[in-house]
Structures are given as structure tokens and as C-alpha cells.
Amino acid sequence: MTTSTLTGPLVVTGATGQLGRLVLAALLKRVPAAQLVAAVRTPEKAQDLAALGIQVRKADYDQPETLVEAFRGAAKVLLISSNEIGQRFAQHRAAVDAAKAAGVPLLAYTSLLHAETSPLPLALEHQETEAYLKASGLPFVLLRNGWYTENYTASIPSALQHGAFLGSAGDGKIASAARADYAEAAAAVLLRDHQAGQVYELAGDAAYTLRELAAEISRQSGQAVAYQNLPEAEYLAILLGAGLPGPIASLLAESDAGAAKGGLFDDSRTLSRLIGRPTTPMAETVRAALRG
């Protein structure tokens, strides 16, 4: 692997988010803290990062001038996709424009697995962002992330309480990986030369169905948990009834329906090659979740 010589800092957006913090942790193993910038909407929430020696810069999607300043002098920028569904493309567009205005040599963007052909409605804003990036003339690399296993293990407490793991994925195979695996991949790409134009389809080495996930939860917890496959509309209604915000409930239900069509499957093992080790097995993430 070729490691690049940095001509400026590496800027990570969404740096106080779950993925952003993990990317910075992975980068800290390889580069000095002074070469890292945490670009965040609320700098007060990044005091722990500043204490490590990481530069903290304000970067608010709704204040484009802050983005230009946050990106100024950067060797590379990692644009971690926004979590504000429905607002993402406008926010990403502001970040791309700012990166171009700041003269950023390379922008890495966390997109969605097989974004161009994905059956997941979630893919639409990623498709729009990718198209805008291509039209911008800015050098970029796409990290098309598959599903995080944690997206499912977050439901373990409820599954144990009710003895059922609910979903709409049918027998769709899900090649997920731990969030930390994707973070390591992003760090690896930021530290490589000649990445402009690269597209990485990133997913776990092994795939499983939600029925197999439920069986693994049963095995490790010692409690009977069955997978209950529901029509998408019924699953959505249950999620809304459980108090989930509408956009999040829709995202989960639609993504399960997309998984039933193969939208979360990939067997290229690109992710494990990129990080130089096997991806984290689903069973290991289940074990961590059960430990709390």
C-alpha cells in the first residue's frame, strides 16, 4: 500500500458522529494529531478531540462560508454523509461547492453500497451527490459503504424483551460489517496516493439473513428470539408505534425491503482487502452489544 505524503491536514466532517470519531481514531494511529481537522457544526461538542491535539473547525452546512474556512489548506477532505434524510443532498452540495472554492485536492465521500443500482430509496440522495461530484470537476473518491451491523444490533434489547426480532428483509442476504471496519477503510483511503476516480464497494466478508441473526442472538443470550418477517407497511407501523421519528422508521422499513431484493449484499471482499484484515464477524458485534 502506498501511503501519501500529506501537504496539509486531513479534514473529517461530522467528526463528532459515531463514524467520524472512529475515522479520527484510526487516523491517529498513523498520523500526528496536528495533521487532523475535526470539522463540526458544534465545536463545543468536540472538546475531547481538541484535547487530543486535533484541530477543531466549525463547519455548518447551512453556513457555507464556515465550510470554505474549515476546508482551507486541506490535503484531503472526508465528507461523511449527513444523517438528515431529505436534507442530505443540499448539505452535500454545499460541502462540495466549499471544497471546490477552498481548492481541496481530493474529496472522499461516504456513499451507499452499489448506489447506482441500489433498490433502497436511501440511495437517491447518494446518487444525486455522486452526480454532483462528477459534474463539479473536483477530484473525488467514493466509499460506497454497506450496512453497519450495529444498525441491527441496536434492536437486541427490544428483541430480547419481546422474544422476536422484527423486520421485512425476508431471506435477503446482508453483508454488513462493523462501523469501525468502514472507519478504517476511510482512513486507509485518505492515506493513499492516486485515489481520484476510485470507487470502493464496501461490505462485510460474510452475509447472513435476519433469521440467522436472530438465531445468533438466541445462541449467545440463552433466550429464545425468533425472526418475524412482516410486510413493509406493518413493520413501518410498528416502528412508528415504538416512537421512532418518521424519517428513521421509513429508512429502516424501506432498507429492509431493499435488503429482501439483494440491496445489502456484496461478496467482493473489497473492504477486507482495503483494511488488511477480515471484517468483523456479525457474531462478534452481537457479543459486544449483549455485553453492553
- Alpha-carbon span 39 to 46, nearest angstrom: 9
- Confidence at residue 287, expressed as pLDDT on a 0 to 100 scale: 98
Note whether residue 214 is domain-resident.
no
Note whether residue 15 is domain-resident.
yes
DSSP letter at 250 equals H
Note whether residue 168 is domain-resident.
no
Note whether residue 65 is domain-resident.
yes
- Confidence at residue 13, expressed as pLDDT on a 0 to 100 scale: 98
- Confidence at residue 1, expressed as pLDDT on a 0 to 100 scale: 41
Sign of CA dihedral 133, 135, 136, 141: positive
* CA dihedral of 189, 191, 197, 198, whole degrees rounded to 10: -30
Note whether residue 139 is domain-resident.
yes
Note whether residue 217 is domain-resident.
no
**Residue 265 near residue 247 (C-beta atoms within 8 A):** no
DSSP letter at 279 equals P
Note whether residue 69 is domain-resident.
yes
Q: What is the pTM of this model?
A: 0.96
pLDDT tens, per residue, the chain with 292 residues: 445 567 899 999 999 999 999 999 999 999 999 999 999 999 999 999 999 999 999 999 999 999 999 999 999 999 999 988 889 999 999 999 999 999 999 999 999 999 999 999 999 999 999 999 999 999 999 999 999 999 999 999 999 999 999 999 999 999 999 999 999 999 999 999 999 999 999 999 999 999 999 999 999 999 999 999 999 999 999 999 999 999 889 989 999 999 999 999 999 999 999 999 999 999 999 999 999 8
Q: How many structural domains compose the chain?
A: 1
Note whether residue 261 is domain-resident.
no
- Confidence at residue 139, expressed as pLDDT on a 0 to 100 scale: 98
Domain of residue 105: give its range.
Answer: 10-146+178-202+267-277
- Give me the CATH number covering residue 136: 3.40.50.720
